[in-house]
Chain A
Amino acid sequence: MPEHAHLSPAEIAGYLAQDLTPGARSHVEAHLDACAECRDELVEVVHLTDAPAEVARPASRRRRQWWIPVAIAAGLTAVMVARPRPSSTPAATQSVERPAVGPTESMPRIGIIAPASGLEVHASGVVFTWHGRSADTYRITVLTEDGAPIWTRETSDTTETLPSKVVLEAGRRYFWRVDAVADGVVATSGVNTLVVKQK
């Protein structure tokens, strides 16, 4: 059967929800009776929508712990905020608005999907998403405006949700970055900002 003749997503969703006219439902049933591919899709959709909302993440690869002392030693100094001082030069003052990216500036970049830099977000449940690079592990870090890390996580996924225990203050600005780790940091998103919505 040619692909264009298969059921549409609306027909499948409508059929499962009993949300079709009798004529449309008959059409869907006749198609399903004849098309094993669409029956398979229907059943797969049933299984996927029956799955619990929170699905366990796949087993992470063997975690490489070696980077932790490296990170501690570095004090996450890759992300530094240059504080303005009365005697600071104009150039130094300009850097207050954005943390310097330090030695990772020339690294390959990790494309950010969400949240876009500078975006206003809710105080909880922020979902960070980025494009994958060839790396075993990604390390995401959220920092205060002062550059103090408040949450860091190592993951093999390219998405991570800020856990509820990490409380972001309404109206405050935070920085976040993602580093790809494979025998050292091999790529970075650079520093992105997010602003927490006022309550």
Chain B
Amino acid sequence: MTSRSPTSLENLLVASNQHLRELAWAEFLRDHSDLFLRVARSMGGDNDAVMDRYAFVLDALRGDDFQRLRVWVSGGRGEFAVWLVVVVRRLCLDQRRQRYGRQQGATASSNEQHAQRRQLVDLVGDELALARVAGNDAESPEHLLRVAELRTALLHALDALPTSDRLLLRLRFEDELSVPTVARAIGVESPFPVYRRLENLLRVLRQALERVGVHDSSP
């Protein structure tokens, strides 16, 4: 069993009879019911909906002799509480699907919603002020052509970046997260390294544009 397992989980999974299991389950709930409620509330709805979700999570975690919790022991990584948040959040989504069915039609999936947003290349292009770099005559065909050329060059530069760097730009510009949130999302405690990485990345992209003949990409 991993050393990162909380005591209440270990007691629960090794309980040898029903009485001990009930004891351990009560202790496990004492440790984690706040977390369950927090996740259940994050999905919205009125109090009844939240409490239905909460009860569903408890039933699901208890099911099959705590099979879902045993998965942590066999392959858990990171912190148990974080892992549990992911598991509980997915259970809440399952409960919502069971109750209301998969949302269709008007409600697009997350990927579809993202696709409807502006693409990363355009968002980073704004950051690098490509339109201004292309010249002031915004209505002229030459300007439009120049913008298109710059956009293509930037797209190639983004594709050439390491995945981790492109992910950083995506979280910052496409998902519009604050830098401190981006830092936490990539597992970095301080936002300052992220500020520096972003600054470096924008410089790298400017340099990439300079290599294709753009010399004034600084805003």
- Contacts known (A9-B83, A9-B87); A16 close to B26, Cβ less than 8 A: no
- Measured CB to CB, the closest approach of chain A to B119, in angstroms, equals 12
Contact B37 A159, beta carbon cutoff 8 Å: yes
B residues less than 8 Å from A30 (CB atoms) = 163
Tell which of A83-91, A108-116, A146-154 binds the partner: A108-116
The stretch that binds A, out of B72-80, B128-136, B144-152, is B72-80
Q: Is the CB of B50 within 8 A of A58?
A: yes
Tell whether A10 pairs with B75 under 8 Å between CB atoms, given A116-B22, A127-B26: yes
Interface string of B11-26 (1 = CB under 8 A from A): 0000000010011011
Are A116 and B47 in contact, CB atoms less than 8 angstroms apart?
A: no
Stretch at the interface among A43-51, A62-70, A73-81, A168-176: A43-51
A42 CB contacts on chain B under 8 angstroms: 185
B48, B81, B83, B115: the one within 8 Å of A10 (CB): B83
Q: Given A16-B184, A36-B111, 10 more contacts at CB 8 Å?
A: A10-B75, A12-B83, A40-B110, A40-B175, A58-B41, A113-B55, A122-B27, A125-B30, A132-B48, A157-B37
Query: Does A93 sit at the interface, judged by CB under 8 A?
Result: no
The answer to whether B58 touches A129, judged by C-beta atoms less than 8 angstroms apart, is yes
Instruction: Report if A145 contacts B (CB, 8 A).
Output: no
Give 19 pairs: A residue, B residue, CB < 8 Å, sorted on A.
A13-B82, A29-B164, A33-B170, A36-B111, A37-B110, A37-B111, A39-B175, A43-B181, A44-B42, A45-B86, A48-B39, A51-B38, A113-B29, A113-B55, A119-B23, A122-B27, A132-B51, A132-B52, A156-B47
A46 touches B55 (CB 8 A): no
User: How many B residues, CB 8 Å from partner?
Assistant: 58
CB of A94 within 8 Å of the partner chain: no
Q: How close is B95's CB to chain A, nearest CB, in angstroms?
A: 13
Count class of interface residues, chain A: 35 or more
Main secondary structure, interface of A, reads: mixed
Check B209 for interface membership: any CB of A closer than 8 A: no
Residue A35, interface by CB 8 Å: yes
Which residues of chain A have a CB within 8 Å of any CB of chain B? 1, 8-20, 26, 29-30, 32-33, 35-37, 39-51, 53-55, 57-58, 61, 113-116, 119-122, 125-127, 129, 131-132, 156-159, 161
